[in-house]
Amino acid sequence: MKTQIEENGIVTLTNQAAAQLESSKMWNEDLRPTTKKEHSWSGMNFSTLWIGMCLCIPSYTMASGMISLGMNWWQAILTIFLGNIIVLIPILLNSHAGTKFGIPYPVFARMWFGSKGAHIPTMARAIVSAGWFGINTWIGTTAIDTLLSSSMGWENVPGHTAIVFAFFWLLNVAIGYRGPEAIKVLGIIASPIVGISAIILFIWAMTHVSGGFGPIVTEPSKFHSAGEFLKIFFPSLTGVIAFWATLALNIPDFARQAKSQKSQMIGQSVALPLTMTLFSFISIFVTSATVVIFGEALWDPVTLLAKFPPFVILLGTIIIVIASVTINVGANLVAPARAAENIYPRRITFGIGVIITGLFAILMQPWYIMSNFGNYIFGWLGVYGALLGPIDGIAIADYWIVRRRHLALQELYQPNGRYNYSSGFNKNSIIALVVGILIPVIGYFTPGLRFLWDNAWTFGLFIAIAVYTYLMRNDSSLLKPGEYESITMFTDPKSKDESAATL
C-alpha cells in the first residue's frame, strides 16, 4: 500500500496513512511530518534566521578570546571562518533529511537510535541547549542590568538584577512558547535591526580613528612557531565548531518547513559563515578603535555602550534584548522543548517543553561557565563538542550512507515499526556513540594523544561514522531493493527513476 507521496524531492504522508497514526502514542501535532502546505520557508527565511542568531554578544566576543590567547586579528578571523565552514557541512546534511521528510529532530533520531533510544541523543542535545539558554539569559540579564544602571540609576533599585533576570527569562519563554512560526517572524524583525546596528557601530569606529586601524588590528601574533600556534588553533577551531554543533543536530526542526532543498541550502550557506566572519571582523575593528578613543580595549559591547549618552544606551539596550532573544529562542529552546515533548507526546506539548527547559536552565550555573574564556572555550564548548560530534556522525552515516536517503516515514511513528529495533533501542548506534566519545577522551588523559581531545568533535564524528556504517551494513531495518518504490507515490516519474538508481 502506498503510504507516502514524493513530489519535487519532498515526502509527505498520504491522508490515509496520517489518519492511521493519529492514535499512536508516538504522534502529536508538533512531532508529525509537515504537510505540503507547511513547507513554506524560503531561502530568505533561513538567511534571516541565521543572521539573527549570529549577531549576538557571544559571537561578538568570540574573536576577543582567541586574540587574548595570542592570535593576531586575521588568525582569529580565519579560525572563525574555517570553523563555520566545517560545521556548515553537517548542518546541510542533516537539513536534507528534515526537508525531504518533514520530520523534527526527535523523530529523525528514532531512525538511528530507535523509538526509545532516541531519548539519548535528544536529551543530550536538550541538556546542552538548556545550558546555552542559561548562558544567554545570563548574558542578556547582565547586559540589560549594566546598561540601565549606567543611564538611569537602576543599580539603586533593590534586587535590580533579579528583576531584570525574571523579565528577560519570561520574555524568552513567552516567545518560545508560541513555536517555530514565532521564531520565523522574530528572525525577520531582528536581522535588519541588529545588522544595521552593527554597521553603524563599524562606521562610528572608522570615523573616530583617523590615519590607522588601531593597535589591535596592527598587533602581530604572539606565537613564535607553527607548533605554538597549532596548540591554540585546534581547540579554538573545535570551540567555533561546537558553537553551532547543537544546531547541526536539530536543524531538521527548522528545515522541515523549507520550500525546497535549494532554498534551505542557499539560505544557510550564505548566511552562517559570512555573518559570523563579518561580525567577528567588526568586533575586532571596533575594539581596536576603542584603544585609540578611550585608551583601553573594550571587547564587551555592553561596556562600550555604557560610554555613550543615555539615549544611545537605551537604544543599545533594546537592540541587545532583540539580539539575545533571537539566538536564545531560535537556538536554545526548540530542541529541548521537542525532546521533552518526545518523552510523552500525548501529554507534553511544545509549549510545556519550553517551560520545562526554562526552569531547568535556572538550575544550571552559566555564571561559572562565563566566568573566564578558558572555562568557555576549553571547558563548556570542548566537552559538549566531544559529546555531540559522534551523534552528528551517526545521524549523517544513517541517512546518507546506510539508508541512502530512503525510509518508511509512517513507521517512524509506529511503536512496533522497523525503527523500534530491539525493545526500542538500536544497539549499533549506542556502540558507535560510546566509541566515538571514548577515543577522544583517551587523548584528554594521554599527553602524546592530546590532539584527539583538542579536535574531539571532528574525531568523534568520523569515528562514529565508520563504526556505525560497519555495524549497520546488513541491519533488518533497511528497506529492501524496490521497497521504497512500493510504498511511495511519485508525482514526477523522474523522481522514481532517481530513487531506484540510489538503491
Could you read off the pLDDT of 301-325 as tens digits, one per residue? 888 888 898 888 889 889 988 988 9
For residues 265-285, give the mean pLDDT: 95
Mean predicted lDDT score pLDDT of the chain: 89
Q: Identify the CATH assignment for 4-502 out of 1.20.1630.10, 3.30.70.1230, 1.10.3720.10, 1.10.4160.10.
A: 1.10.4160.10
DSSP string, 316-327: HHHHHHHHHHHH
Average pLDDT over residues 229-236: 90
Query: What does the pLDDT read at residue 154?
Result: 87
Q: Does residue 87 carry a pLDDT above 90?
A: yes
User: What pLDDT shows up at residue 148?
Assistant: 87
Portion of the chain with pLDDT greater than 90, in percent? 52
Place of cell 562610528: 204
Cell numbers at 75, concatenated: 588568525
For the cut 90, the answer to whether the pLDDT of residue 99 exceeds it is yes
d(CA 21, CA 103): 14
Distance of CA 64 to the CA centre of its chain: 21
* Sequence-ordered list of residues with C-beta below 8 angstroms from that of 108, at least 6 positions apart, any chain: 94, 97, 98, 252, 395, 399
Q: What is the mean pLDDT of residues 11-20?
A: 96
Q: pLDDT at position 377, please?
A: 47
Cell for 497? 527513476
pLDDT value at residue 206: 87
Higher pLDDT, 265 or 326: 265
Query: In this model, does residue 347 exceed pLDDT 70?
Result: yes
The band of 498, judged by pLDDT with boundaries at 50, 70 and 90, is: low
For range 417-443, the mean pLDDT = 95
Poorest-pLDDT segment among 152-161, 197-206, 392-401: 152-161
Res 353 pLDDT > 80: yes
Q: Which residues contact 174 (CB under 8 A, 6 or more apart)?
A: none
How many Cα atoms are found within 13 Å in the side-chain-facing hemisphere of 418? Answer: 13
For range 446-473, the mean pLDDT:
92
Q: What is the pTM of this model?
A: 0.88
- pLDDT value of residue 197: 93
Mean pLDDT of 74-86: 95
Q: What is the pLDDT of residue 283?
A: 92
- The predicted structure's pLDDT at residue 336: 87
432 or 388, which is more confident? 432
With 80 as the cut, is the pLDDT of residue 200 above it? Answer: yes
Give the pLDDT band of residue 497 (cuts 50, 70, 90). low
Region 257-284: mean pLDDT is 95
Residue-wise pLDDT tens digits, 366-422: 666 666 544 554 455 557 667 888 999 999 999 999 999 999 999 999 988 999 998
Measured CA to CA, the distance from residue 345 to residue 387 in angstroms comes to 26
3-state SS assignment for residue 41: strand
Most confident of 15-19, 183-187, 384-388: 15-19
| Cβ–Cβ < 8 Å for 339, 353 | yes
pLDDT of 379: 57
pLDDT at residue 376, as a whole number:
53
Q: What is the gyration radius of the CA atoms in the chain, in angstroms?
A: 23
Shortest CA distance to 91 belongs to which of 259, 258, 245?
A: 245
Helices (H), ranges, 73-222 = 73-101, 105-113, 119-152, 160-177, 180-208, 215-218
Reported as a pLDDT band with limits 50, 70 and 90, residue 26 is: very high
Domain map of the chain by residue range?
Answer: 4-502
> Does the pLDDT value for residue 128 go beyond 90?
no
